[in-house]
Structure 1
Amino acid sequence: MDKIGELTVFAKVVDEGGFSAAARAMNLTPSAVSKQIGRLEDRLGVRLLNRTTRSLSLTPEGRSFYERCTRILSDIDEAEAEVTSAHTTPRGMLRLSCGVAFGRHQVSPLISEFLERYPDVQVEMIQTDSVVDLVEQGVDLAVRFGELQDSSLVARFLARSKRAICASPEYLERHGVPQHPSELQDHNCLFFSTLPHLNEWIFKVPEGEYPFRPQGNFSANNGETIHDMALSGLGIARLAEFLVAPDVRDGKLVRILQDYYRDITVPIHALYPTRRHLSPKLRAFVDFLVEKFSPVPPWERL
């Protein structure tokens, strides 16, 4: 038996007041317990216990050794409990990556509630519209839109997001409301400067798909700024429903060309590197996002 095992047997003999009682408590035979104590004393070169046929008592060396043993065994129990707790209780730093607009409008408002539930967790939020390498940059979780490209990541479905072609009532009053996607070429369209895949506006027409590349006098590298410009009446934009739904409800923006665009949706996933040994903090946060965004995302409840 290893040293920790010997210490455990010795402490149990003292606590139970005899070899037989210790043997019953540990599901061992009395002879096995006696041999362990004998080996321990031989290794230490001192007698730890005074034995008679009717009683057992500690020698002075044995009492000092017992006090140290109980402290050591208690420290081991506490260390194991701490490690076990770390694998069952969410705690520690969680690094989260998500898009600027989605992070600000949909994820950030939820963080306070999550941290109230799990006060031992700290969250670092990285808002960027660029694709982050989770492993290389030490990110625990990313929330991403679109079809999945990296098969090495584990994906948890959150929701589907529609996009809307929209403009302010003031813009539409000045320039008219387009009735067909082809009429967008006569309008000032707002587009992304650094995310070319977002500048492919695909419409559904009776003949099939109608692709359109927006042109206009303003572009930006994020949806937040394009959203602001659409609200200001500068032009027509294609933006996510999670961003524009409150404005449509309040009459600040108007959806247009819905018959050509209403069925086009984009999946949203929570992505993380591996299923093996998934940390409690990550599991808790992913489950929390699923709870908040499924089965109906909050922007569709307005």
Structure 2
Amino acid sequence: MDATVSKRWLLARLYEPEQTIVDCRFTLGKPQAGRESYEQEHIPGAVYLDLELDLSGPVGEHGGRHPLPDPQVLAARLSKLGIGNDSRIVAYDDESGMNAARLWWLLRYLGHEQVFILEGGFSAWKAEKFPVTDHQPVRVPSSFVPQLQSQMVAGVDKVRQVSEQTVDAEAGKGETASHPALPLLIDSRANDRYRGQNETLDKKAGHIPGALNYFWKDTQNADGSFKSAEQLAEHFAGLDKDREIIVYCGSGVTACPNVLALEKAGFKKVRLYAGSWSDWISYSENPVATGEE
């Protein structure tokens, strides 16, 4: 099944007991806005998970602006909300799917495959006159036992190695020049941030040397839904499906919809650099590139 579900699909299954709907609305710079929106109105039965309090770990010297949460801490939070290993989760937000995709990725990282994203998000749901409520459900705790899928993550050492090899290959140096199996680095941020021309969130501007730019919002239609598998395959047509791909963004959030889109387009070897750009620049020795690759 596709990683996304339609509004009518969810409407038809709104009250199925094995399902948990998760509201992931969050506004950067306004950390209370998402929860306040949830408390005002949400899809019936939905619980709330906060990007920074639930779907991220504490910020430190390294790890980026939204470090991965501790798997056991997240599992305990899921259990408290009544989410178990047999639950089907449908996540939504109002930010073009970026926060919902973060939960989608995290759950799969914890070994849980039954997780989906609502196409179009909350505003599209409400625009269809589908039901909303301010009632917060009482949840019976469950047991969520994580089975970590460590192969889904690439750390800074791996990314540094790939970057160095890519730069050498582009310069025609060493054995890497004829090594087509070299992993690809994908930067998911807007092109002006990738080029280093408009950085408003992080202390340094630019991108990881050797990375290509595929803006995450280009994977979506005007209504905030994801493009079809065929459209996404065309969007990523310049990439080799046999090569490993490491995706990053500013802090590991907007890279997640790009991971989803790549997998929807048929790419099988996709990993997330969770700390992303904000982690990369926390190491003073890491080089920074600007302009186009």
Structure showing the higher strand proportion among its residues? 1
Structure showing the higher helix proportion among its residues? 1
**Fold-level match, TM-score > 0.5?**
no
TM-score, normalisation: structure 1: 0.24
Q: Larger Cα Rg: Structure 1 or Structure 2?
A: 1
